[in-house]
Structure 1
Amino acid sequence: MGLTALAAVAVAASLDATVAELPSRVHPVALFGRVVGRFDREWSRPRAIGVAVAVSLPLAAAGVALGVVAAAGRVAAVVLGGGVAPAGATAAVAGLALFATTSLRMLVGAAREVVAASESDPEAARAALLALVGRDTASLSAGRLRSAAVESAAENLADGLVAPLLAFVVGTQVSVVVGVACAAWVKAVNTLDSMLGYPDRPHGTASARLDDAVMWIPARLSAVLLALAARSPTALTTARRWARAPASPNSGWPMATTAAVLDARLAKPGAYDLNTDAPLPSLATAQAGVRTVSVAGWLAFLLAGVAAWL
């Protein structure tokens, strides 16, 4: 089982490096998002509906993922007659499913695009930034565009990669199929929070609180990975001073660690301001920040593979 789990992580990492993302028309997360969208409306009892949504939809996503991978393994066993080949088929399907729950190359690519255009074509950078953030980008200066790209890449490292990989590793202690189900459950929780978890949506309160609990460890693990990627373990001590500045109990950790390793100010007007004594990221500093997120992401894949194997 350890080799199958390791192979699944290798498949997911390889697909991320070569494909980056499945087409939205067939992407499981996009399909799940369409389901969630049906619940994003006014309700007579919004909090009760919110709890039901937060509990049932991630479990349904996990159940579908578990069923698909388990069925693929059974079909392979019948067709190929048992042995190594069905295990390889299970690893391939599990890897594809894990790939659907994770994102690194697309995240890093989007951040790089914003940073590269921030000086030469700010309007293009503002448009590209919308792939990473939900804030109004129209008035952002070049430095703030770079800040937004870097801090969003760091924050989404935890949501989009470390959390589902960690869930997969935990689940593989039972089986590879359960590992995939755990990764799908976490990704569904993240998706619910990103779509419903806003103060003006009372039906999203339960989803937001569940995401806060689920992301507690991945956010801090992401901070460790970022410090390791930058070869700056002391950055974690520095980051502790700023990590509570954002309203989220988790997102401040990877962002504050990135601000520390870059010695740069990362700020969202009206929300948080990290490392205020430093300047906003220069072009070179922002590029270094995106590289750090990329290295941290590949470290996450590597450590997940080793942990799943052991």
Structure 2
Amino acid sequence: MGLTALAAVGLAATLDAAFAEPPSRVHPIALFGRVVGAVEREWTRPRAVGVAVAVVLPLAVAAVAWGVVTGAGVLGGSGGVTPVATAVVAGLALFSLTSLRMLVAVASEVVDAAERDADAARESAIALVGRDTSSLSAAEIRSAAVESAAENLADGLVAPLLAFAIGAQGSVAVGVAAAAWVKGVNTLDSMLGYPDRPVGTASARLDDAVMWVPARVSAVLLAVAAGSPRSLVDARRWVRVPASPNSGWPMATAAAALGVRLEKSGAYTLNSDAALPSLDEARRGVRAVAVAGALAFLLAGAAVAVARVGP
């Protein structure tokens, strides 16, 4: 049944390449985000609530994902097409839990706009970066785009694909549930995991643990995609500069592979002896993210293809 899991990965990759994202009105993560939004308010005991949220919400979204894929297999079994039904529903679910084309498209748009119209680039960058863009120069905008593309490669693609590949060793439904759980944890962190929001402390710590491996796998993929294995060695000098225990790996690897400085004012500077990325260097950085993402899909497919898994 490894072919069923492989078909799910292939369908997710194909849908991502063709459509980038499901429509927002039916996007499961957008719906999950609305639930998380209800938590963003004052609580008498915010840390206790935060622990409950970090435990319950990702498990809930994982349970729903498992139920949908399992139900598709049961219904498909009545028509004798269990593997096909499972592969299609799992592929649709995995498509909604991963993102590559949208990430690359937005990063490319920001990089190109920085050269033509800095104001437009600052506006576009809001959808990509977690910082105030109002005073960024064109070079700083390019730096922000490359940093965010590298970091989001780990969060938005490698982490859920890795979870699927591991979970699918048991069954396709478990693989999708694992990917949904990881995506739930990451979404909680992105919405609540800020120092001024005690309700998000548990989510942030859980995300740190969950992203430890995906961040480092992403760094390897970026080094391969950029044709610069040496960058993994060079990046080790800067991986601990950002406050996050994980984001420094893909970002520092990108800085080393491109030979550029990546910088968030007041927070970190990676490869400080180099210059901020030029237009061509930033474009190369975004292309490396695209290639690394394609490699992630291929490796996930290879991992599940050899597994003897159930539906």
- C-alpha distance in 2, partners of 1:130/1:74? 43
Query: In the alignment, which residue of structure 2 is the partner of 1:193?
Result: 189
Tell me the residue number matched to 2:224: 228
Deviation at 1:134? 2.4
Q: Structure 1, residues 270-309: CA drift from partner, whole Å, max 9, x if none?
A: 1100001110000000000000000000000000000011
Q: How far is the alpha carbon of 1:86 from its aligned partner?
A: 2.0
Structure 2 residue corresponding to 1:208, chosen from 189, 204, 211: 204
Residue type of the alignment partner of 1:38: A
Match of 1:26 in 2: 26
Percent sequence identity over matched residues?
72
Length, aligned pairs only: 306
Opposite residue 299 of structure 1, the aligned amino acid is L
Identify which of 158, 176, 182 aligns with 1:180. Answer: 176
* Pairs within 5 Å for 1:78-227: 78=78, 80=79, 82=80, 85-227=81-223
5 Å matches for 1:253-272? 253-272=249-268
**What's 1:7 paired with?**
7
Provide Cα deviations, 1:27-68, integer angstroms capped at 9, x if missing partner. Answer: 000000000011111111111100000000000000000011
Q: Using the alignment, how far apart are the partners of 1:290 and 1:230 within structure 2?
A: 10
Structure 1: distance between partners of 2:35 and 2:209: 23
Q: Equivalent residue of 2:82, what SS?
A: helix
Report how far residue 77 of structure 1 moved: 1.1
Which residue is equivalent to 1:64?
64
Q: What one-letter code is carried by the residue in structure 2 that aligns with 1:76?
A: G
C-alpha distance in structure 1 between counterparts of 2:85 and 2:71, whole Å: 11
Unmatched 5+ residue regions in structure 1? Answer: none
Within-5 A mapping of 1:271-282: 271-282=267-278
**Between 217-226 and 126-135, the greater mean CA deviation after superposition:** 126-135
Counterpart of 2:5 in structure 1: which amino acid? Answer: A
Residues 3-31 of structure 1, C-alpha deviations (whole Å, 9 max, x = no match):
00100000000000001001111000000
Q: Match of 1:239, as an amino acid?
A: A
Paired residue secondary structure (1:250): coil
Counterpart-to-counterpart distance in 2, 1:223 and 1:90: 32
- Looking at structure 2, the residues matched to 235 and 119 of structure 1 have their Cα atoms a distance apart, in angstroms, of 27
- Name the amino acid aligned to 1:54: A
Amino acid at match of 1:18: A
Classify the secondary structure of the residue corresponding to 2:263.
strand
TM-score (norm 2): 0.98
Root mean square deviation, CA, Å:
0.6
2:309 corresponds in structure 1 to: none
SS of 1:158 mapped into structure 2:
helix
Matched, 1:43 2:43: yes
Instruction: State the distance in 1 between where 2:278 and 2:268 align.
Output: 19
Pairwise CA distance, 1:88: 1.1
